[in-house]
Amino acid sequence: MAFAHLLEVDDIHSHLAVKDGTVRAVDGVSFKVDAGETLGIVGESGSGKSMTALSIMRLLPRSGSIVQGKVTFKGRVLTELSEDEMEAIRGTEIAMIFQDPMTSLNPVYRTGWQVGEPLRIHRHVDTRTSIRAAADLFQKVGIPDASKRVTQFPHMFSGGMRQRAMIAMGLSTSPSLLIADEPTTALDVTIQAQILELLRTLNRDYGTATILITHNLGVVAGMCDRVIVMYAGRVVEQGRTEDVFARPEHPYTWSLLRSIPRLDADEHEPLKPIDGSPPDMVRLPAGCKFTPRCPFAIPRCAAEEPELLTVRDQLSRCWVTQAGATLDGDQGG
């Protein structure tokens, strides 16, 4: 197979029509995912992280559309495929799991039947075989009593078990890319730990590349090889997880890391919050979108938007760090 990267997202722009205007939900996002790696996308609600995933899957809501850009998966340009061709890829090559496991399974069908559905559609197996396969998958994702559980309806599953079932369904066709959109946000921490452990195991055992979308920096730290930080529809920082956490090169990442309480903090220090609120996506400021909240902003930031350029070990969209300055507490405080 002659492709350089498993997935290449190239300058994607996706717009959403809302009541009072157009939201540039994804505004020029580019990144690559290699086989077997785990890429984290972090950002707050409205940062465009979920819309990026939905753009890759071409599952944007009706009010949204990809207006520019190219997504290439295993050398095929997804953004140019017909809807039928895209459907074939969605069920088999790329799987997606969502935040809310409570609504992602249909309450009127047995779980085994639903989890086996991709196999019936894409591998043309009969119902019996598909349900037997579902039982095997249930075992793989750690659902006990698999052969009994496949005959049960979704309401008999807890939130964690449903998310496992969703993961089982995603894995049924052995995809090479799994997109997990806030897969543990609706779950309790001990259940979150179970699901993250499962995703880690699957990544290790089957080499499934994973895009993990989350707002939780701790989850990224434990799961991802590389991380993309999004703000206002843009990538503001991108790099190896260790580098980004050890030495953030964008003030947003820098401030975010200092604003969250850490379990391992020794002494009680007041948190250093980020001022202001996330931006109104319909009326974005000119220049760098983080400027109004940025402790490092210089006059140029409000006037001109920086590009995403290499700063030391990673990429950053910031005039200050691109000019060679470092982010540290004295400047920011």
Partner 1 sequence: MATKVAEAREGHSASGWTPAQPLVEVRGLRTWFPVRSGVISRVVGQVRAVDGVDLDIRQGETLGLVGESGCGKSTLGRSILRLVQPTAGEVRFKGQDLLRLGSRAMRRTRREMAIIFQDPFASLDPRQTVADILGEALDIHHLARTGRARKERVSELLGLVGLSTDFAGRYPHEFSGGQRQRIGIARALAVDPSFIVCDEPISALDVSIQAQIINLLEQLQEKFHLTYLFIAHDLSVVKHISDRIAVMYVGKVVEVSAAKDLYRQPKHPYTGSLLSAIPIPDPRLERRRERIILKGDVASPLNPPSGCRFRTRCFKAQPRCAETEPPLDTVNLGDHKAACYYPLS
Q: Which residues bind partner 1 (CB under 8 A)?
A: 44-45, 158, 160-161, 188-194, 196-197, 215-222, 241-242, 245-246, 255-257, 259-265, 268, 270-275, 277-278, 293
Q: What sign results for the dihedral spanned by CA atoms 302, 303, 304, 305?
A: positive
Q: 131 vs 217, which CB is nearer to partner 1? A: 217
Closest CA to 98 of 169, 155, 37: 169
Structure tokens at 7: 């997935």
Nearer to partner 1, 90 or 317 (CB): 317
Q: Is 128 left (phi over 0), alpha (psi -120 to 50) or beta?
A: alpha
CB-CB contact of 297 with 291 (8 Å)? yes
| Region for residue 41 given its phi and psi (left: phi exceeds 0; alpha: psi -120 to 50; beta: otherwise) | beta
Q: Kind and range of the H or E element at 211?
A: strand 209-214
Smallest separation, CB 185 to partner 1 (Å): 10
What is the nearest approach in angstroms of partner 1 to the Cβ of residue 242? Answer: 5
Contacts of 108 (CB under 8 A, 6+ apart): 153
Q: Min. distance of Cβ 283 from partner 1 in angstroms?
A: 14
| CB of 13 closer than 8 Å to CB of 68 | yes
Rounded least distance, CB 89 to partner 1, Å:
32
Strands 177-181 and 94-97: parallel
Least Å distance, CB 152 to partner 1, is 14
Which of residues 20 and 264 has its CB atom nearest to partner 1 in the complex? 264
Compute CA distances 106 → 28, 72, 118, 123, whole Å. 35, 31, 14, 21
End-to-end CA distance of the chain: 51
Interacting residues of 229 by C-beta distance below 8 A, sequence separation 6+: 42, 43, 235, 236, 237, 238, 244, 250, 252, 253, 256
Residue whose CB is less far from partner 1, 129 or 185:
185
Residue 116 vs 183, nearer CB to partner 1:
183
Q: Shortest approach of partner 1 to residue 119 CB, angstroms?
A: 27
The C-alpha angle 101, 106, 112, rounded to 5 degrees, equals 90
Among residues 220 and 228, whose Cβ is nearest to partner 1? 220
- Quick one: 67 or 260, whose CB is closer to partner 1? 260
User: Both tokens of residue 22?
Assistant: 């157009």
CB of 154 to partner 1, least distance (A): 15
Residue 72 or 255: the one with the smaller Cβ distance to partner 1 is 255
- Two tokens, residue 225: 């090889």
Rounded to a whole number of angstroms, the minimum distance from the CB of residue 278 to partner 1 is: 6
